[in-house]
Amino acid sequence: MNIVVIGGGKVGATLIEQLTDEDHDITVIDANSKVLTDLTNRYDIAGVCGNGAAYPSQKQASVEKADLVIATTPTDELNILCCMVANQLGAKHTIARIRNPEYAPQMEYLQERMGLSMYINPELETANEITRILHFPSAIKVNAFMRDRAEMIEMKLENGNPLIGLALKDLRGYYKGDILICAVYRGDKEFIPGGNFVLEEHDHIILLGSPNDLNELSKKVNPSFRKVKNVMIVGGSRIAHYLSDILLEQGVRVKIVDLSEKRCLELSEQITGARIICGDARDRELLQEEGIEKMDAFIALTGLDEENIIASIYADSCGVPKVISKIGDRDMAGMVDRLGLDIVVSPKTLTADIIIRYARSLEYAGDDSMKTLYTICNGKIEVMEYHVDGDLPFLGQPLANLKIKPGILIACIVRDGRTIIANGASTIAHGDNVIVVSRKGKVKSLLDIR
In a domain, 207, yes or no: yes
Q: Are residues 238 and 313 in the same domain?
A: yes
From 164, 190, 221, give the residue that closes a domain: 221
The total number of structural domains that make up the chain: 4
The answer to whether residues 262 and 159 belong to one domain is: no
Model confidence at 147: pLDDT above 80: no
Exposure string of 2-30, with b = 16+ CB inside 10 Å and e = fewer, is bbbbbbbebbbbbbbbbbbebebbbbbbb
In a domain, 325, yes or no: no
Query: For the segment 53-89, what is each residue's pLDDT rounded down to a tens digit?
Result: 999 999 999 999 999 999 999 999 999 999 999 999 9
Is residue 228 packed enough to be buried (19+ CB in 10 Å), middle (13-18) or exposed (0-12)? buried
- Alpha carbon distances (Å) from 134 to 129, 297, 321: 9, 8, 10
Please tell me whether residues 9 and 114 are part of one structural domain.
yes
Q: Which of 86, 120, 154 is the last residue of a domain?
A: 120
Tell me, yes or no, whether 347 lies in a domain: no
User: What pLDDT does residue 364 have?
Assistant: 65
Q: Do 299 and 390 have their domain in common?
A: no
Residue 52 forms part of a structural domain: yes
CATH number assigned to the domain comprising residue 105:
3.40.50.720
- CB burial readout 367-405, b (16+ within 10 A) else e: bbbbbbbbbbbebebbbbbbbbeeebebeeeebeebebe
Do 143 and 164 have their domain in common? yes
> Does residue 198 lie in a domain region?
yes
Which CATH number do you get for residue 171? 3.30.70.1450
Q: Mark whether 244 and 212 lie in a shared domain.
A: no
**Domain around 70:** 2-120
- What is the mean predicted confidence (pLDDT) over 293-298? 95
pLDDT higher than threshold 60 for residue 227? yes
216 — pLDDT class (breaks 50, 70, 90) = confident
Task: State pLDDT tens for residues 367-387.
Answer: 567 888 888 887 789 999 998
Per residue in 323-370, pLDDT (tens digit) is: 999 988 766 666 666 676 778 898 888 888 888 878 877 776 555 678
H or E element: which one contains 332? helix 330-336
Domain shared by 99 and 163, yes or no: no
Q: Same domain, yes or no, for 133 and 111?
A: no
